[in-house]
Structure 1
């Protein structure tokens, strides 16, 4: 095992290998991380993984172009990154692990991916949790523009954490150092910069699902959003709550974009209750 907790299992996903955390036993839940610089599944979900793993199998991959998943031969080629490719990676991962159906939790960009995956393969998904989710139309915020426009430095990463979190005291310098060090690993910044070059508003429609497809989703869905989110506006989750018939919306006050870090215990309890209900109802 690697001394780096971000590096987990090497799993074949189509033409490349993905870095995948796979812990616990029980009905599976697939965690899909966001698109910030230096992100990895472990950095995004490290507080939630052990909690959910007490009662279920928790699978958290580094998506293509992020973390420690094998990178394309030319990581600077923007054509290597698309919602269709990330959906296929997730499906290939489920196939390799022999998982027919899973719950899905998507954070931000990962929420858009969760929506796209549920729309394309509805029977592979039991329930959805969308946290600060992209996937519907909105005008890019200054916060998201800053996140996608990141150039590596520890000072820049600290500034981004000020954008991500409502209360900076909840997001430590240790996390800033972790994310900064991850962002300067060989190939990391090259792939990140290739995904969302300026002007960045154009990349949001590429992550959207159509209103008709979202309205047709049959899944029970929980939306979670921080009221003070400077990266993805609360209106995105409000729109999703209007479009998805079997949905509920929980808004955390005094919370920015990182609900799973800023209100870790409350978020974990909310998600666990939502998924446990599905276990009881067998839906």
Structure 2
């Protein structure tokens, strides 16, 4: 059911001013909040694929949602007059987004930007304030502390261990699709963007979202970024990293719903330790693939498999090389399990997403070892190592990753804003909603 519930439509739109047709993933929603659509703008090198989890959940909450592939990324070709590799700067990307909105006849929208997408939507909001209802800015770059292409990309790589394991293949596929030269050129053109100079001119209410483990957005820069906005709110999602729209889609959608309906006020920071979206007790998400393994069960499996890897090969008289491969895997798994932040962890320093990424990496290493360094080992031993590798991959993909709560950080008083599309004082904040299975 999760494969078809609120599945996006693939839509192509001719954009005459760019000379191309742009691709987008579109969710019509249930028309509850369809008057003003929500537009999701991806980050550097990515595409609308990274927006699918958030788009589905916003559609389930009743919003019309559109996620375009900006020119040169995803399925959208580069503009016809753009020289290869056609890496756009911030102003050009904002203009491309606006041209697509014009072609879609979107006169006003809520703009969500992630990473580089934040720079584009902020530029658009400053120059065309009448086209923007509200802004949601997730993981805004570039931090003044590292405004060079090399350091910026290094921080992007540092985020990967803290994202959901299933996001990394999507990122690599998108990077390969757009091409490394285009990514490098766009990174060079956007990394020194003085976004802080434009923030005071943003007229729309803005929600800034930071994942707790975001390596590209420091807490200090997130607070300063929010402080520069005339009407900004900063919320930190615990357990998440840079791509909150994917790894913490359920929490992010509920958070956006509260913001768009005027429920995030400065008063919320004084109540319940600033929690505006609690961690859900029910970890079963009707719009996600089933994940039957709890963190507690995962911990039990970790220690059991590590113990088997350290004892069973020697007891069965396996070849020395097989014993070495399995013992190494067992020691590594035991080590990072003891430091994982779950029920059976001892030190609890490693976030669960990082643990699952290490599990996945260990699974791949075992599969490679069964085909390479163990080539001369008996077939049953090689099959056993490969099976263990597949088990690690299965466990990484099937384990729940609890996200949240989302906490409002009291950065500045800001202005109280009404629900989107209304005049001040005409509506009360909407009640909290969650997703209903289709």
Q: TM-score category by the smaller chain? A: 0.7 to 0.9
Task: Tell me, in whole angstroms, the C-alpha distance in 1 between the residues paired with 2:99 and 2:47.
Answer: 19
Match of 1:226 in 2: 211
Structure-1-length-normalised TM-score: 0.78
Instruction: Give the C-alpha shift of residue 279 in structure 1.
Output: 3.6
Question: Is residue 2:159 matched to residue 1:163?
Answer: yes
Query: SS of 1:195's equivalent?
Result: helix
- Whether the aligned pair in 2 keeps the contact of 1:105 and 1:130 (CA below 8 Å) is yes
Unmatched runs of 5 consecutive residues or more in structure 1? 149-159
Task: Tell me, in whole angstroms, the C-alpha distance in 1 between the residues paired with 2:201 and 2:79.
Answer: 34
Task: Indicate which of 130, 135, 140 corresponds to 2:137.
Answer: 130
- Whether the aligned pair in 2 keeps the contact of 1:129 and 1:271 (CA below 8 Å) is yes
**For residues 56 and 32 of structure 1, do their structure 2 counterparts lie closer, same or farther at Cα, with a shift above 3 Å needed?**
same
Match of 2:14 in 1: 12
- Whether the aligned pair in 2 keeps the contact of 1:76 and 1:194 (CA below 8 Å) is no
Task: Tell me, in whole angstroms, the C-alpha distance in 1 between the residues paired with 2:43 and 2:57.
Answer: 20
Question: Is residue 2:67 matched to residue 1:48?
Answer: no
Instruction: Give the C-alpha shift of residue 72 in structure 1.
Output: 4.4
Task: Tell me, in whole angstroms, the C-alpha distance in 2 between the residues paired with 1:235 and 1:77.
Answer: 37
Task: Indicate which of 248, 251, 255 corresponds to 1:263.
Answer: 248
Unmatched runs of 5 consecutive residues or more in structure 2? 1-6, 263-418, 425-438
The superposition leaves residues 53-90 of structure 1 with CA deviations (integer Å, 9 ceiling, x where unpaired) of 23121111111221111124687746651112111111
Match of 1:192 in 2: 183
The superposition leaves residues 41-62 of structure 1 with CA deviations (integer Å, 9 ceiling, x where unpaired) of 12x2111111112312111111
- Whether the aligned pair in 1 keeps the contact of 2:53 and 2:249 (CA below 8 Å) is yes
Instruction: Give the C-alpha shift of residue 252 in structure 1.
Output: 2.0
**For residues 10 and 90 of structure 1, do their structure 2 counterparts lie closer, same or farther at Cα, with a shift above 3 Å needed?**
same
**For residues 229 and 108 of structure 1, do their structure 2 counterparts lie closer, same or farther at Cα, with a shift above 3 Å needed?**
same
Task: Indicate which of 103, 108, 113 corresponds to 1:106.
Answer: 113
Structure-2-length-normalised TM-score: 0.52
Query: SS of 1:184's equivalent?
Result: helix
Higher relative contact order (CA 8 A, sep 6+): 1
Task: Indicate which of 241, 262, 267 corresponds to 2:226.
Answer: 241
Instruction: Give the C-alpha shift of residue 132 in structure 1.
Output: 0.6
The superposition leaves residues 248-272 of structure 1 with CA deviations (integer Å, 9 ceiling, x where unpaired) of 1001233321222232211110011
Instruction: Give the C-alpha shift of residue 94 in structure 1.
Output: 1.3
Match of 1:181 in 2: 173
Match of 2:329 in 1: none
Q: CA RMSD in A?
A: 2.8
The superposition leaves residues 205-255 of structure 1 with CA deviations (integer Å, 9 ceiling, x where unpaired) of 2x33352x3213221111100232112323332122111121110012333
Task: Tell me, in whole angstroms, the C-alpha distance in 1 between the residues paired with 2:8 and 2:47.
Answer: 7
Task: Tell me, in whole angstroms, the C-alpha distance in 2 between the residues paired with 1:105 and 1:203.
Answer: 18
Task: Tell me, in whole angstroms, the C-alpha distance in 2 between the residues paired with 1:146 and 1:271.
Answer: 29
Matches within 5 A, 1:24-63: 24=28, 25=31, 26=34, 27-35=36-44, 37=45, 39-42=46-49, 44-54=50-60, 55-63=62-70
